[in-house]
A = this chain, B = another copy of it.
Amino acid sequence: MKPKGFVRRTRQREAILAVLKGTKCHPTADWVYQEVRKEMPHVSLGTIYRNLRTLSEHGEIQELAFGSAHSRFDANPDNHYHFICEECGTIEDLEMPALAELGKEALKLPGYEVRGHRLEFHGICPHCSHHRSDDYAN
């Protein structure tokens, strides 16, 4: 019997994955589009976006973005860390002190002038975790 909801292996998806694996840079969707188009001129930009999402949802690649598409702002300009809830998207400050040794670690890289770092944790916040238990109870 044919399974429902499975993932097909298409020329386009293969090409996108190949392009991504063939570069050390961390390209944007549009860069990938331009590359894939060289081999497959009729590929659609929608296809690129759709597949990049599908691939990252299946853990084959990863998307580098700050949760939502739009920026968020923080009145505290000093370095501190955040927790981002995967469920509700809430961003919270962590009390954890900034780790000075992290910068030093990276300073070992020759030629790189490290000015700072950013650390975020993601997972489920207490609020959403609570709602989840409610769901199981029903």
Contacts and interface: CB of A to CB of B under 8 A. Distances in A.
Contacts of A112: 83, 121, 123-126, 129
Interface string A102-133: 11011001111111111111111110010000
Contact of A71 (B28, B76, B77): B28
A106 to B, nearest CB: 5
B116 A106 contact: no
Interface residues of A, number: 64
A77 B60 contact: yes
Chain A interface helix/strand/loop/mixed: mixed
Q: How many copies of this chain are found per oligomer?
A: 2
Interface stretch (A1-9, A39-47, A89-97): A89-97
B122 A118 contact: yes
Interface in A12-55: 17, 20-21, 23-30, 32, 52
Contacts of A73: 20, 26-29, 32, 52, 56, 61-64
Interface string A67-94: 0111111111100001100100011111
**6 residue pairs, one from A and one from B, having the closest CB atoms:** A111-B126, A65-B71, A115-B123, A20-B75, A113-B124, A26-B91
Given A25-B90, A28-B72, 10 more contacts: A23-B75, A25-B91, A26-B82, A56-B77, A69-B70, A110-B126, A111-B126, A113-B129, A116-B123, A119-B119
